């Protein structure tokens, strides 16, 4: 009887993804908060990590309570498609080939206010803003995404 013993090692390389730190999340939140104060728009600010989990949140005084979930959905939509939420919105329009997509993933929000947060050209998190007009949410999200 011949017994053959084979010894081998499997090497798996795991991509090193940059992860949003609490300090970076707080900076993004502060930048968005400062822009919201500057344009006098009380909003809800959501910062998530790359997996879509909440990292930081602020509800400014007088921000609409119903906008908390909308801010979360904008950040989630941005995370799921790795693009601005309004860019995803282009696929959600009735004339688009993917009409109905907004009903997937627990619901998508396809208007401005959700976007990736970049550091050194890599996505490290996502921001969602809601409480102002769509264009105001977009301006505030843009400010918070530049850390």
Which residues face 127 on adjacent strands? 47, 115
Ranges of beta strands (E only) in the chain are 44-48, 54-59, 114-119, 122-130
Q: Compare 37 and 98 and report the one with higher pLDDT.
A: 37
Q: pLDDT band for position 98 (50/70/90)? A: confident
Poorest-pLDDT segment among 11-20, 42-51, 74-83, 130-139: 11-20
pLDDT, position 8:
52
Q: pLDDT band for position 107 (50/70/90)? A: confident
pLDDT, position 1:
55
CATH superfamily of 31-129+134-144: Haem-degrading domain (3.30.450.150)
């Amino acid at each position: 009887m011949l017994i053959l013993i084979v010894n081998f090692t499997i090497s798996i390389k795991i991509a090193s993804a940059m992860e949003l730190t609490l300090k970076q999340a707080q900076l993004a939140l502060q930048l968005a908060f400062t822009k919201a104060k500057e344009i006098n728009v009380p909003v809800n600010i959501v910062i998530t990590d790359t997996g879509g989990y909440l990292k930081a949140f602020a509800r400014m005084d007088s921000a609409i309570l119903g906008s908390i979930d909308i801010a979360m959905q904008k950040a989630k939509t941005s995370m799921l498609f790795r693009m601005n939420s309004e860019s995803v919105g282009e696929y959600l329009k009735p004339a688009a080939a993917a009409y109905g997509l907004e009903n997937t993933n627990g619901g998508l929000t396809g208007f401005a206010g959700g976007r990736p947060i970049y550091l050194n050209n890599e996505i490290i998190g996502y921001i969602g803003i809601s409480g102002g007009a769509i264009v105001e949410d977009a301006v505030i999200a843009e400010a918070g995404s530049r850390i």
